[in-house]
Chains A and B, each alone.
Chain A
Amino acid sequence: MKIIANKEYLKIKRRSKLSEIFMCMPLSVWVVCLILLPLCYLLFMSFMTKGPMGTIKYVFSVDSYVRMLEPEYFSVFKKSLYIAFISTVVNIVLGYPMAYFIASKVKMSSTLMLMLMLPFWTCALVTIYSFVIMFSNAGLINNFLMALGIIDKPIDMLYNNFSVSVGMVYELLPFAVMPMYSSIEKMDKNFIEASKDLGAGPIKTFFKITLPLTKPGIYAAIILTFIPCIGYYMITDMLGGGTTLLIGNVIYNQFTAARDWPFGAALSCILSAAIILMMFIYTKLGGDLDNLGA
C-alpha cells in the first residue's frame, strides 16, 4: 500500500544574501585590480623586449630570462641567498630566546613587544644610519677601541657583508620575534608541567615539547625574515655602499637607472615564483598564513 502524500514540494528559492555579497565586493575588486592584475601584467612584461632609451617593444622574447644566467647575476643570486640565510639564522637564534623571555614576563609582555617594535615604527631608516655613524672608520666604535689602545688602525666594519647582515638582523628582528612570541604564548603550559611530571628535565622538556609545539611560530619567523632580506635594497644601499648588490638592488636599478623594465619584471617573477614555492612548502608543513600577518 502506498499513500501519496500531499505533494506540496515547493521549490524554495535560495534567499539571495545580497548584502553579504555586497560587503565582499570592494575588497574583491581591490584585490583583483591591484594584486592579481599587476602580477599578471608583471609576468607579461617579463616576456617583452627592451627597446632603445628605456622603451618597451611588445615582442615576445625570453631574453630577460636568458640574461639571468650570466655569471654577474648568478653571483648576485648567490650573495642574496647567502646574506638572507645568515640573517635569518641569526634572527631565529637571537629571536627565539627573546620571544621566550618576553612570553615569560607575563605582566609586561605587551609592553616589551611594543618596545621591540618601537624603533621600527618610528625611525627605521634613521637608526640604520646610526650604524653608519658607529661602524665607519672614524666612527664611534673604532674611535672607542683606538682610544682604549686595543687596536691601532680602524677595522673595516662598514660597506661589507658584515654591516649589511647586521642591518638586516636589526631591521627584521622584531618580525622574527613576533610570530615566535605568539606561538610560545599560545602554547598550553600544561604540556610543560606534564612533561616535567613524567620525569623529563628542563632541557629534555624544551627539545621534546616546547620546541616542537612552537614550530609554526619558527616557520613563520623564517619566512618573515628570509623574504624581506632578499628584497630590501635600502639596507644594502646604505650599509653595503654599492659594493654589495642583492637581487632587490638589481630590480630597483632596472626600474630606475637602467630602465630595463622587462628584465626587472623577469627578475621579480623568478623571485616571486621562488617565494610562492616556499609558501607552498610552508603551508604543506602545516604553517598558517595568518601567522604571518599578526
Chain B
Amino acid sequence: MGDFKEKTKDEVIVSLLNVEKWYGNNNVVKNMSMKIKSGEFLTLLGPSGCGKTTTLRMISGFEEPSSGVIKIENESVELKEPYERDVNTVFQNYALFPNMTVYDNIAYGLKIKKVPKAEIHERVEEMLDLVQLKGFEKRRIDQMSGGQKQRVAIARALINQPKVLLLDEPLGALDLKLRKQMQLELKRLQKALNITFVYVTHDQEEALTMSDRIAVMNGGIIEQLDTPKNIYEKPSTKFVATFIGESNIFEASVISVDSEKASLGMECGSASILPEEVAFGDHIYVSVRPEDMRFDKEPVEGFNIKAKVKEFIYIGNITKMIATMSNGDEIKFTRLHTGKLPQVGDVINVYWSLKDGIPIPMETNAEFEKLKELSIS
C-alpha cells in the first residue's frame, strides 16, 4: 500500500461549517463547525444521543445535513451520494456481506472500480497481511469470530485507499481484552498508513488512548475539541470535566485577584486558584480531579473548606474517600497517602495546589466560542 500520499499534518481534509441536522422537531446536531486535519486520529466522544454518529453519517453521506456545508478536500459534498465520496466506513456491527467470502468482501470496492483481477488479488493479499488474516480468504463470514470480522471490515474499507476512514464504535461488540488489543492495532494501522481516522465512541478511555484530538460532544454540540491531554487537564466546560474522568465541581465567585492567586468565595467556604484566566467578579465553576484533592488536619492558607469523612471505598490499586461538605455536597478523593488516613466522621480541611483548580466559565458557550474563532480565521 505504499502509494498513500505523504500528507502534511495541518492540511484540512474534512470541514464542517454550520452543519445542522433536524429529525422533525428534534435538533440532533446544532450548528456544528469543525475542521479535521489530514492524517490525524480524531475521535468524536460523547454519551449516546449526543449526535456523534449522526455527524459521522453526514460525512459518509448516509444522512443529509438539514443545513450547512460539509467539505472533503475543499469540495462540497452535501449533495453527493455515499458512493461518490472518497471516504469509507467501518460499521459498528461490521456489516460484512454474508453472501460472500472474506476475499470477496475485501475485494468488493476494487471490483466495482473494475480494477484488473491480478491487481485485485495482489492488493487483497496485501490487506490480509496488514490485518493478519492471511489464509482466511475462502472462509465464509459466519465462520469468523468477532475480532476476525472486525479485521475484515477494516481491510475492506482500507483497500479503497480512502482519504478518510470513518469508524462507528467499531470495537463496541468485542470483549474487553480483545478491545484493548484492537485499540493498539488500529492505532498502529493509522500511523502506518497515515490515513485520517474519524472515530466515534462513547468510551472515554478508548478515546484518550487512541486519539490525536478528541471532540467531546453533548446535546448536538461540540463542547471541546482538543488533544487528550488538554481535554483531561484543561476541560473547558463542566460537561467535559465530569464526562472525562471524575471531577469535583465547585461553584465559586472570584473575590480578589493578585499576581499569585485568585481567591474564591464558595457556598461552603473559600479556596484559591491561579490568577490567569479569571477576573474579579467572575462567577465560575472550579473543577478539581479526585487525585488532586488534598486534606489536612490544620487549615491551609488560602483555603477554608471543611468536610466530614463519610466512607472509604477500596478499588484495588487505590482507595477512594468520600467526604461531605457543610452544604451536603459530596467530594471525592483518590491517591490517598496511606498512614495518615482519617477515621470516618473526622472533620478535615480540604485544599489543592493552585494549578490543580481548573476554572470553567459558568455560562459556557463552547460552540459560540468556536464560531467566533472560525469566523475570524
Contact = CB atoms under 8 A, between A and B. Distances in A.
A14 B64 contact: yes
Contacts, number: 42
12 contacts: A3-B368, A5-B31, A8-B17, A10-B67, A10-B68, A11-B67, A12-B64, A12-B67, A12-B68, A12-B79, A13-B79, A15-B64
B78 interface: yes
A6 interface: yes
Interface of B: 17-18, 20, 31, 64-69, 78-79, 81, 368, 371-372, 374-375
A9 B375 contact: no
A15 B67 contact: no
Contacts of A9: 18, 20, 67-68
Q: Is the contact region of chain B dominated by helix, strand, or loop, or is it mixed?
A: mixed
Given A3-B375, A8-B68, A15-B79, 6 more contacts: A5-B372, A6-B17, A9-B18, A10-B67, A10-B68, A12-B66
A48 B17 CA distance: 65
A207 to B, nearest CB: 39
A34 B93 CA distance: 42
Range class of the A interface residue count: 10 to 19
Closest 10 CB pairs of A and B: A5-B371, A9-B67, A6-B375, A3-B372, A5-B375, A12-B78, A8-B18, A15-B64, A12-B64, A10-B69
A5 B370 CA distance: 10
Interface string A22-51: 000000000000000000000000000000
The secondary-structure label for the interface of chain A is loop
Interface of A: 3, 5-15
B67 A6 contact: no
A15 B81 CA distance: 9
A9 B78 CA distance: 13
A3 B18 contact: no
Contact of B374 (A5, A12, A14, A15): A5
Contact of A3 (B68, B78, B371): B371
Contacts of B20: 9
B24 to A, nearest CB: 14
Contacts of A13: 79
Nearest to A2: B368
A13 B78 CA distance: 9
Nearest to B370: A5
A5 B67 CA distance: 15
A162 B79 CA distance: 68
B362 to A, nearest CB: 15
Contacts of B78: 10, 12
Contacts of B374: 5-6
Contacts of B372: 3, 5
